[in-house]
Amino acid sequence: MKWETTYYPTLDEMSRGAARFVYNLAREHIGRHGLFTLVLSGGKTPRALYEILAGPEFQNAMPWRGIHLFWGDERCVPPDDSESNYHMAFQAMISRAGIPPGNIHRIPAEIQPPEVAANSYAQVVRDFFVRVEGRGRNHARRGTTESIPSFDLILLGMGKDGHTASLFPGDDALDEDTSWVTAVHEPVGSPPVARITLTLPIINEGQDVLFMVSGSDKRNVLQTILDSPSKAAARYPAARVNPRGRLLLFHDCEILR
Ligand code: 6PG
C-alpha cells in the first residue's frame, strides 16, 4: 500500500486541509448513496479539525444528516470525562453542529468489564451496517464467516511510539484477526487507563484512511514508516494500516519524501 503524503507547515493549515478533504468526501459519498460513515480519531491532533467542521465555514455546508460518526478507539472513562475521546469531539464539534443524535455511534467505554464494552460496540457497528447494507456501495465484504463492515473514511492519529487508535506496540490487540473491536488492558499510552479499540481487520476494511500526524517528536517514526512500511510494520502499529482504498497522511513534520 502506497502512502499518499501531504505536508502542511502548521497544524492549523493541516486541519483546514483535512476539513476540506472530509467535506468533499462526505458530499461525494452522500451524493452517491446517501450515506457517509466517518470514524473519528482521538487525542489532541484532530480537535482543530472538528472545530473547523462545526465552525462558520463548514457547519451549514456539511451534509450532517447523511453523516454517521463512529470512533476508532476510546478510553474506559465516562463520556463526560476530560480524557474521553467522545468528550473531546462533543466539545469541539458535536455540541455545535446540528448532527442528528441517531447519527452518533459512540463507544460505550464506561461499561465494565472492557470486554463487554468492546462486544457491545461491535454489535452497534454490526446492527448499523446490516441496517444500511445494500444502500449503494457494498458496505460489507462477504467474508468467509461474517461480512466485515467497510467504513468510508477512518481518521487515525499516531503516537510517537507508532501506535494508532489504541493499538500499541507489542500488544495482543495487534494480533486480533477476528473481532472488530477489542479491549486493551495495560496500554502504554497516556492516560494509563484501559481502552476499547477497532482492530486491524476492520480498520483495513476501510475504504479510505486519513492519518493526521503533528509534532516533531513523531518525525523519526514517521520517516521510518514511510521509508519502509513493510519493515516498520514489525515495530510500529501505524505501519500495519493498509486499507482497501487510499492510505493518506497529512502531517507537519519535516520528513524527506
Ligand atoms: C487516543 C488516540 C490515539 C492518538 C495518538 C496521537 O485515544 O489517544 O486514538 O491513537 O491518535 O495517541 O495523539 P495526539 O494527537 O494527542 O498526539
> Is the separation of the CB atoms in 110 and 78 below 8 Å?
yes
Confidence of residue 134 (pLDDT cuts 50, 70, 90): low
Ligand 1 centre from 250 Cα, in Å? 15
Q: How far apart are CA 211 and CA 218, in angstroms?
A: 13
* Per-residue pLDDT tens over the stretch 20-47: 999 999 999 999 999 999 999 999 999 9
Calculate how far, in angstroms, residue 160's C-alpha sits from the geometric centre of ligand 1. 9
**Which residues make Cβ contacts (< 8 Å) with residue 105, sequence separation at least 6?**
68, 69, 70, 71, 124, 125, 128
| pLDDT for 189 beyond 80 | no
How high is the pLDDT of residue 198? Answer: 98
pTM, rounded to two decimals: 0.95
Write the pLDDT tens digit of every residue in 104-126.
999 999 999 999 999 999 999 99
Give residues with Cβ within 8 angstroms of 110, minimum separation 6: 76, 77, 78, 79, 117
How much distance in Å is there from the Cα of 226 to the middle of ligand 1? 19
* Closest-CA residue to 257 (of 14, 1, 6, 18): 6
Atom of ligand 1 nearest to the CA of 218: 17
**157 pLDDT more than 50:** yes
CA atoms within 13 A on the CB side of 247: 16
Residue 248 CB neighbour total at 10 angstroms: 20
* C-alpha cell, 36: 457517509
Q: From ligand 1's centre to the CA of 145, what distance in Å?
A: 32
- Give the binding-site residues of ligand 1, using a 6 Å CB cut-off: 41-45, 72-73, 85, 157-159, 163-166, 189
Ligand 1 binding pocket mutation candidate from 15, 41, 166 (most atoms within 8 A of CB): 41
CA distance 20 to 55: 12
